[in-house]
C-alpha cells in the first residue's frame, strides 16, 4: 500500500489537492564490455530471465579492438522486487574460460545494485521494490570480459655461442637444447626455465 503525507502548509481553507499515484515497473538491460586483446571471436549471447519477466536476448560480437562496448539487450520489464537471472553464453568460436568476467549494475540515478554470482557467467539481481525518484526504474547491468595479458619473449643468440638450458623440471629441457650460433624463440612463460650463454672456447 502506498501512502503520501500532505504537507501541513498546504492544508489551508479552499485548497484543492489532487494526488496521483503512478505505478511503474522496473526495467533492466544487460550490456557487454570487452577489455584487452581476445584470443577468440569474442561472441556472446546475453540473457535476462526470471519468473514473469520478459526476457531480452541479443547476440553480441566484440569489435576488432575488444576495447569498448559490444552491445546489449533491449530493456526487459520485470516486477517490483523480483529476482532475475543475468547470464552470458559463449557463442561459436568463443571460449568463456578465455576471459575474466565481472558485472556491475546501476539505475538511472547512478545508484549501484548488488548481484549474487551463480554458475560461471551467471548472476542474480533483485529489482527495486519501490520507485525512488528520477529514472530509478531503469537499471543497466554491464558484464565486462577481460582477456588475460599475453607475454611473448624473444631471444637472439650471438654467433659462436653455446646455449645451455637449465630447467627446474626435467620435462622442460634436455641435452638436445644445446644450440650453436642459432636463434631461439619462446611464446609462453608458464614454466620456469633459466637460459645461460657462454662464449665458445
Instruction: Say yes or no: 167 and 111 in one domain.
Output: no
Residues 140 and 157 in one domain: no
pLDDT at residue 76 is higher than 90: no
pLDDT tens, 98-146?
A: 899 999 999 988 889 999 999 889 999 998 887 666 677 889 999 999 8
One domain, residues 33 and 99: yes
Host domain of residue 82:
23-146
The predicted structure's pLDDT at residue 39: 78
> What pairs with residue 198 in β-bridges?
162
**Per-residue pLDDT for 80 more than 90?**
no
Report the domain count for the chain: 2
56 plus 114 within the same structural domain: yes
Do residues 161 and 104 share a domain?
Answer: no
**112 is a domain residue:** yes
118 in the same domain as 30 = yes
For residues 136 and 67, state if they share a domain: yes
Mean pLDDT computed over 173-181:
42
Same domain? 27 vs 103:
yes
User: Across the chain, which distance is largest between two alpha carbons, in Å?
Assistant: 111
**pLDDT range class, residue 176, cuts 50, 70, 90:** very low
pLDDT above 50 for 58: yes
3-state secondary structure the chain: CCCCCCCHHHCCCCCCCCCCCCCCCCEEEEEEEEECCCCCCCEEEEEEECCCCCCCEEEEECCCCCCCEEEECCCEECCCCCEEEEEEEECCCCCHHHCEEEEEEEECCCCEECEEECCCCEEEEECCCCCCCCCCCEEEEEEEEECCCCCCEEEECCCCEEEEEEECCCCCCCHHHCEECCEEEECCCCCCEEEEEEECC
User: Quick one: 33 and 101 in the same domain?
Assistant: yes
Q: Is residue 14 part of a domain?
A: no
Overall average pLDDT of the 17-27 stretch: 80
Say yes or no: 117 and 171 in one domain. Answer: no
Mean pLDDT over 46-51 rounds to 82
pLDDT (mean) for 91-103: 89
In this structure, are 126 and 184 located in the same domain?
no
CATH of the domain at 142: 2.60.40
The answer on pLDDT for 180 being more than 90 is no
Q: β-pairing, 161-167 with 112-113?
A: unpaired
For residue 18, is it within any domain? no
Domain-located, residue 107:
yes
Amino acid at each position: 500500500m502506498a501512502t503520501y503525507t500532505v504537507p501541513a502548509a498546504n492544508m489551508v481553507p479552499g485548497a484543492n489537492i489532487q494526488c496521483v499515484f503512478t505505478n511503474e515497473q522496473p526495467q533492466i538491460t544487460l550490456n557487454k564490455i570487452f577489455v584487452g586483446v581476445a584470443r577468440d571471436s569474442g561472441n556472446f549471447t546475453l540473457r535476462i530471465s526470471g519468473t514473469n519477466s520478459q526476457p531480452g536476448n541479443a547476440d553480441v560480437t566484440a569489435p576488432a579492438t575488444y576495447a569498448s562496448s559490444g552491445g546489449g539487450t533491449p530493456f526487459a520489464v520485470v516486477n517490483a522486487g523480483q529476482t532475475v537471472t543475468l547470464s552470458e553464453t559463449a557463442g561459436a568460436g568463443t571460449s568463456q574460460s578465455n576471459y575474466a568476467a565481472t558485472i556491475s549494475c546501476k539505475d538511472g540515478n547512478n545508484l549501484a545494485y548488488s548481484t549474487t554470482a551463480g554458475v560461471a557467467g551467471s548472476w542474480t539481481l533483485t529489482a527495486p521494490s519501490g520507485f525512488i525518484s528520477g529514472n530509478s526504474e531503469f537499471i543497466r547491468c554491464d558484464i565486462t570480459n577481460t582477456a588475460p595479458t599475453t607475454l611473448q619473449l624473444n631471444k637472439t643468440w650471438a654467433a659462436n655461442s653455446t646455449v645451455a638450458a637449465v630447467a627446474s623440471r626435467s620435462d622442460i629441457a634436455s641435452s638436445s637444447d644445446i644450440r650453436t650460433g642459432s636463434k631461439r624463440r619462446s611464446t609462453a612463460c608458464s614454466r620456469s626455465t633459466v637460459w645461460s650463454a657462454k662464449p665458445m672456447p
